[in-house]
Chains A and B, each alone.
Chain A
Amino acid sequence: MHGLSFDIAHLLAGGLVLVSFLMLYQDRMFALINVFALHAVLLALSVGWQAYVQDAPQLYITAFIALVFKATLIPAALRRIVERLNIHRDIEAVGGIGLTMLAGMALVALSVVVMLRVTGTADPLAREDLAFALSIVLLGLLMMVSRRNAVGQVIGFMSLENGLVLAATGARGMPLVVEISVAFSVLIAFIVIGIFLFRIRERFDSVDVHALDRFRGERR
């Protein structure tokens, strides 16, 4: 089938996976936010390309949302939050960068093996897109568990969501994609506003038993 369009879609989706890896080892807040903005720009390009290839103009809206909302507004808001909350110091990563990267590679291998085996009959474009998308989703999850900082977790969640949007646009002619991407944007806006209003800095778990007890509201 049309080789070039297929290759470009591949290139962009593969680029998203690569940027997901880049995000895994960023240990500075601002750098992390910048890499996320890049992730969102790549997503916008990828969705835009799908819109062109599939001749589905409504997908341009999704691409536009990705570009304006995720690549511009959200990173700007997050930068402000990081400045206000004064957390531009290093982010601690659980298990160290080496281990996280290894785990990330294992996840990508897993998703490629699972998806390619399972989707034997599906349309090849959707098939490999889904494999990439699942890798991005799993890498996003990995990032969420490896960060203690609320902003880092939110960025992990947003990269996960980028993977979902990629999957949804890759599925040919899937309805409600625009609605779903809008719903997700609302969700993210809520999260970001939540962090800002309530000044949530840390994930609420700690090895400190005392803090844990208080958190569970179960101290006598």
Chain B
Amino acid sequence: MNAFHLDPIRLVLLIPLISSGVLGLVRDYRWSAQLNVLVSLLTFAAALLLFVIPPAPGPFVQIDDLNIVFVVLNTFVTFTTSIFSASYIGHELETGRLTPGYLRFYHSMFQFMMFGMNLALVANNIGMMWVAIELATLTTILMVGIYRTHEALEAAWKYFILGSVGIGLALFGTILVYVAAEPHIGAGLNAMAWTELLKNAGSLDPALLNLAFVFLLLGYGTKVGLVPLHAWLPDAHAEGPTPISAVLSGLLLNVALYAVLRFKMLLAANAHTFAPGPLMITMGLVSVIFASLMLYRRRDIKRLFAYSSIEHMGIIAFAFGVGGPLANFAGLLHMTMHSLTKSAIFFSVGHVAQVKGTQKIADIRGLSVSHPALAWALVIGVTAIAGLPPSGIFMSEFLVVSSTFARAPLLAVPLVVGLLLGIGALFLKLGGVVFGEPRGSTAPDRASYVPFVTHLAIVLVAGVYLPGPIVSWFQHVAHLLG
């Protein structure tokens, strides 16, 4: 392979890494915001190239049918978030919440986080994946604390401590997988490579793999925000800049879930391990019900949608826990739809919080009078995330519930109760925000609706009609997941 030959994987990794360095040097924030959009677009294009030129798996990186879905989704949402971020940060600069120096840091870290996430997705090595997820987490911690208010620092600290414990447990699980693999594959890098691990999965020690999976589920589950381990998530979402909330909810949770799925595949390939499904189902169900109940007591609008993210990650973990082609398909679809919808909601919430100057739900009233466009954006977004019919979320939730009915009808009951509770809470909160007596600032917004409309259009179209190639692709991946 000569030096000029750049395969798309390298582009997906190198573009964010290099631009992270460059953006740290650009002084004018308008330029750096534009540049941020441009490089995110380039990364997205490189990710699409992966379909055209499928690269062969190397010792460190690989692209297979599973992670290509994640990479494309990741780079796409990054691209739209960078457009939103460009329209968001000017206001932060005017109100003095961020200084130009911090903005440089912000853009640089934004791309660095993308590098970490993309690396975690394409890594063909469980150790490297671990390091990459740690990198992505570290940068988000810095971003969450970027406003340097007391609350932001507290949120960042909490995220830091819980995230570190999670990452520590995940490393222990990773070491256990290596210990299981070493006698069969031989010491060295091969015993940590996904491709080798999967090939030899049948002969690995099942007891070690079981134990490893428990640690990995707890460790990466902390990052997914599954319930007993979710405490950092609402704070981190509420206190950081809104583009980061969108990326956190839409992408970082998915990356952590991807890690769990990979290890689940490994367990599924070994006939003697326990079924990881029940563990994931339990954590998922607890997350759904707990988060739905917590939605009723939220007074902060970003925190409200953070809990909604916990709920949806619970649904996804539940779907993959149930397993089988149909439930896996539903889980994948739900993950995609949730990423798109939730980041779209954060786009509109970000502008709402900016024009009203507050995140308190009680102080945001009557948006339909003062800012009709934002109000409708919020209504459509919430309708979509709640899973009402035309949206793609409806379809994926319907598939999750119906596949559960087919396999284990009793499990579907608490799931449906959780879903309905969530819908009720969201509309209860939405009513006051959108209708009611207008309160607070009526200054016109300078929102960019392009990212929002793009995301929601995809979600709504997907709810009505999914193109055949995408369906067959997802079905294929669902079979891979076992």
Q: Given that A171-B178, A174-B175, A217-B239 are known contacts, is A120 also in contact with B207, CB under 8 Å in the complex?
A: yes
Interface size of A by Cβ–Cβ distance < 8 Å? 47
Q: Mark B243-259, 1 if CB is under 8 A from A, else 0.
A: 00000000000000000
Tell me if B476 is interfacial: C-beta within 8 Å of chain A: no
Q: Given that A168-B175, A194-B160 are known contacts, is A218 also in contact with B151, CB under 8 Å in the complex?
A: no
Secondary structure dominating the interface of A:
helix
Q: Which of A137, A173, A216 interacts with B182 by CB under 8 Å? A: A173
Distance of A120 Cα from B180 Cα, bound (Å)? 11
Q: Mark B205-237, 1 if CB is under 8 A from A, else 0.
A: 101101100000000000000000000001100
Q: Given that A157-B161, A175-B188, A217-B151 are known contacts, is A122 also in contact with B208, CB under 8 Å in the complex?
A: yes
Contacts of B183 in A (CB 8 A): 121-123
Contact A176–B192 (Cβ < 8 Å) = yes
Contacts of B169 in A (CB 8 A): 137
Contacts of A190 in B (CB 8 A): 138, 160
Distance of A153 Cα from B362 Cα, bound (Å)? 36
Contact A118–B164 (Cβ < 8 Å) = no
Contact A118–B299 (Cβ < 8 Å) = no
| Smallest CB separation, B120 vs chain A (Å) | 13
Contact B158–A204 (Cβ < 8 Å) = yes
**Could you tell me which residues of chain A, from 104 to 157, have a CB within 8 Å of some CB in chain B?**
114-115, 117-123, 126, 130, 133-134, 137, 141, 144, 150, 153, 157
Q: Given that A119-B179, A173-B188 are known contacts, is A137 also in contact with B138, CB under 8 Å in the complex?
A: no
Contact A160–B168 (Cβ < 8 Å) = yes
Q: Mark B183-212, 1 if CB is under 8 A from A, else 0.
A: 100011101100000000000010110110
The size class of the interface chain B forms with chain A is 35 or more
Tell me if A200 is interfacial: C-beta within 8 Å of chain B: yes
Distance of A159 Cα from B310 Cα, bound (Å)? 30
Contact B211–A118 (Cβ < 8 Å) = yes
Secondary structure dominating the interface of B:
helix
Tell me if B165 is interfacial: C-beta within 8 Å of chain A: yes
Contact A198–B153 (Cβ < 8 Å) = yes
> Which one of A8-16, A33-41, A62-70, A179-187 is at the B interface?
A179-187
Tell me if A167 is interfacial: C-beta within 8 Å of chain B: yes
Tell me if A172 is interfacial: C-beta within 8 Å of chain B: yes
Q: Which of A137, A167, A187 interacts with B164 by CB under 8 Å? A: A187
| Smallest CB separation, B302 vs chain A (Å) | 9
Please name the residue on chain B nearest to A188 by beta carbon.
B164
Contact A215–B154 (Cβ < 8 Å) = yes
Q: Which of A122, A150, A215 interacts with B179 by CB under 8 Å? A: A122
Distance of A100 Cα from B164 Cα, bound (Å)? 22
Closest 9 CB pairs of A and B: A173-B187, A176-B127, A118-B207, A218-B299, A204-B154, A175-B189, A167-B175, A171-B179, A118-B211
List 11 contacting pairs A-B, 8 Å CB cutoff, sorted by A. A120-B207, A130-B176, A167-B172, A171-B179, A172-B182, A173-B188, A175-B188, A180-B127, A190-B160, A191-B160, A216-B234
Given contacts A187-B164, A190-B160, A204-B157, 20 further A-B contacts (CB under 8 A): A122-B180, A130-B176, A137-B169, A160-B165, A168-B175, A171-B179, A172-B187, A173-B187, A174-B187, A175-B191, A180-B130, A183-B134, A183-B135, A187-B167, A194-B160, A216-B300, A217-B303, A218-B299, A218-B300, A220-B362
